[in-house]
Structure 1
Amino acid sequence: MLPHLIDDLGVVLRRDLVAAGIDDNAIARRCRGGELTRLRQGVYATTTAYAAADAAARHLMLCRGVMRLYGPDVALSHTSAALAYGAPAWRVPLDLAHVTGLETPGTRTQARVRHHEGVCRVSDISRRDRHWITAPTRTALDAAAVLARDPAVCVLDWFLQAGLTTLQECRSMLLVRREWSDHLDLTLKLDHAREGSQSVAESRCHLLFDDHGLPRPTQQLEVRDERGWLLGIVDFAWPEHRLVVEFDGKEKYHRHRRDGESIEQMVMREKDREDRIRAVTGWTVIRISWADLEDPRLLIARLRRHLAAAA
């Protein structure tokens, strides 16, 4: 294999291999021998890079190859553009690369590519990796439009937390696309989006609270002692009910882990922080996990008891 033909993701195009003197028979032998993995017609990846990649990274490999094949008349869009920006892949279908035609009308799906039709203004697209990609606000809305509610809100929350868009910018763009068939559906999804959710877990938590009619909590609340010293920042809080909810997940521990700190040290530091909040404020701190989100009946009952007692 000629290293200069392979890009940083491990993707290589058939046309470049053929131009370098590696014909289709040689490409097929490399696939059978485990050197190359076929992503779609005309697009391959080194098997080493493909095997080391997770599902989201493999999707981005496919997208890279597709965009290299296509000319300047398409932009990477919808969930593919969202993943390219770094959005979470939780419950996001990854089998198709999504592009929006900038010149050619019509929608179709072929060779693992979903072609979307949509009017793109100059402000709706930008350049990335030498190709067109829909701009962040447009991407957040387009991705949410093709996803079920919960993963859609997780993507919207991520774009808000990353500072790539705001609720006001999303709502303003939504007004512009009022005539689109997805307007009402997107309006409902956007109503659930929250600034302050730092993970898929936190997005799922606030959706759970909404769905069960709990009062809306404050997210990322700074809890301070009587001297004004910061005790900690909590995921969810109902200050008037003296109640805090913290999500106990691996992602959170890695996000707040200090340089040189082990997981065990991080867990103990989190426990000390929680104990200080309890001791100084007298608030109740409830920790929840992924299992609580999958079967939330006991959790919701427990939260309602605490909220009612404090009220």
Structure 2
Amino acid sequence: MIEHLVDDLGVVLRRDLVAAGINDTAIGRLLRGGVLVRMRHGVYALTSLWSVAGDRQRHLMLARGVMTLYGDDVALSHSSAALAYGAPDWRVPTDVVHLTSLFAVGERTQARVRHHQGTCRVQDLSRFEGHWITSPLRTALDAASILPREPAVCVLDWFLRKQLVTAAEITEALTIRQDWSDHLDLVLKSSLARVGSDSVGETRSRLIFGDLGLPEPVLQMEVHDTSGHLVGIVDFAWPEHGVIVEFDGAEKYHRYRRPGETIEQMVMREKRREDRIRELTGWAIIRVSWADLANPAALRARLQRYLRPAAA
């Protein structure tokens, strides 16, 4: 058995197998027997762990193997570093691991690895699981630079929410890298990032509201009762219109579910919270789901009656 040779993610390198006396012929038998799966040349994983892993986890397994293979010549970067930090993987490609060379090696893609060439200052690097990784600020910007607008802003929002970066730091960093080819694109994407979007669904909702020409909402507005006690925090609010929008995603229910509380109990508690907010404010409360985000025209029709002066 080879379990003692793999790391905590189930990853092992060919060189380590060979050093343990398992030659290429034996490795071939392990592959054919379903014990190992080849992630790329020289990097393997236990099939038992690979088969139950999702795309995100498989990417992290591949990244671990690649970083171990390359050592300190490179830093995990771009969207691979973002996923390692814990950023959302919505529409983030996971088939290729992104590395930034620390020794100005040319850019190329080979064997499921994208090599980036870019100047890394001391403050651009951190240590992670024994390897180099680009800093949260550098990672957020590099990831946003290679992603389409919506997933890019989702990643930026996440870094802001986790307080790994600040809006001021993003602005300063963009000033420093003005001569980079992605500068204008990053300025646009960064201008859309906000503190207060607590999920991918909320970030997507906010971007769609803007695309629909709706006024920018207040994010995470607190609602208090007459005694000053906090009744709830709402996702989006337009106080001037008396409108609240709540994004109704499964993630929210799991995030705010209390220990020992069933989903049904959580839903009923959420309903009581919503009723209380409606009683205190007298505002309309509209629920938006993933299905609504897939049909912006219909969503606009739903919201327009409440926000007509600004959306006309």
1:159 aligns with 2:159: yes
- Which deviations, in whole Å up to 9, do the C-alpha atoms of 1:17-67 show, x marking residues without a partner? 010011111111111111111100000000111112110000000000000
1:214 aligns with 2:214: yes
Show the counterpart of 2:198.
198
CA distance in 2, matches of 1:299, 1:89: 25
- Which deviations, in whole Å up to 9, do the C-alpha atoms of 1:60-102 show, x marking residues without a partner? 0000000000021100000000000000110011110000001
Measured after TM superposition, the shift of residue 285 of structure 1 is 0.4
Show the counterpart of 2:136.
136
Structure 1 SS opposite 2:71 = coil
Give TM-score scaled by structure 2 length: 0.97
Measured after TM superposition, the shift of residue 249 of structure 1 is 1.1
Contact 1:241 1:310 in 2 (8 A): no
Percent identity, please: 66
Measured after TM superposition, the shift of residue 310 of structure 1 is 10
Contact 2:246 2:287 in 1 (8 A): yes
Contact 1:96 1:112 in 2 (8 A): yes
Structure 2 SS opposite 1:240 = coil
1:145 aligns with 2:145: yes
Show the counterpart of 1:283.
283
Show the counterpart of 2:237.
237
Structure 1 SS opposite 2:95 = coil
Structure 2 SS opposite 1:234 = strand
- Which deviations, in whole Å up to 9, do the C-alpha atoms of 1:156-196 show, x marking residues without a partner? 00000011001110111111110000000000000111111
Measured after TM superposition, the shift of residue 212 of structure 1 is 1.1
Specify every segment of 5 or more residues in structure 2 that has no aligned partner in the other structure, as ranges. Answer: none
CA distance in 2, matches of 1:212, 1:14: 53
TM superposition outliers: structure 1 runs of 4+ over 6 Å: none
Distance 1:214 1:86, change over 3 A: same
CA distance in 2, matches of 1:259, 1:181: 49
Measured after TM superposition, the shift of residue 110 of structure 1 is 0.7
AA paired with 1:293? L
CA distance in 1, matches of 2:222, 2:71: 49
Give TM-score scaled by structure 1 length: 0.98
Specify every segment of 5 or more residues in structure 1 that has no aligned partner in the other structure, as ranges. Answer: none
CA distance in 1, matches of 2:104, 2:258: 50
Aligned length: 311
Measured after TM superposition, the shift of residue 225 of structure 1 is 2.0
CA distance in 1, matches of 2:105, 2:34: 39
Measured after TM superposition, the shift of residue 308 of structure 1 is 3.1
Structure 1 SS opposite 2:26 = helix
AA paired with 1:269? R
CA distance in 2, matches of 1:105, 1:179: 20
Equivalent runs, 1:1-311 vs 2, <5 Å: 1-308=1-308
Structure 2 SS opposite 1:175 = helix
Structure 2 SS opposite 1:88 = coil
- Which deviations, in whole Å up to 9, do the C-alpha atoms of 1:174-226 show, x marking residues without a partner? 11110000000000000111111111000001100111111110111101122
Contact 1:79 1:92 in 2 (8 A): yes
Distance 1:226 1:250, change over 3 A: same
Structure 2 SS opposite 1:205 = helix
AA paired with 2:257? R
Structure 1 SS opposite 2:51 = helix
Structure 1 SS opposite 2:12 = strand
Contact 2:215 2:310 in 1 (8 A): no
Structure 2 SS opposite 1:251 = helix
Contact 2:76 2:100 in 1 (8 A): yes
AA paired with 1:159? F
AA paired with 2:73? D
Contact 1:242 1:310 in 2 (8 A): no
CA distance in 1, matches of 2:170, 2:105: 25
Measured after TM superposition, the shift of residue 268 of structure 1 is 0.8
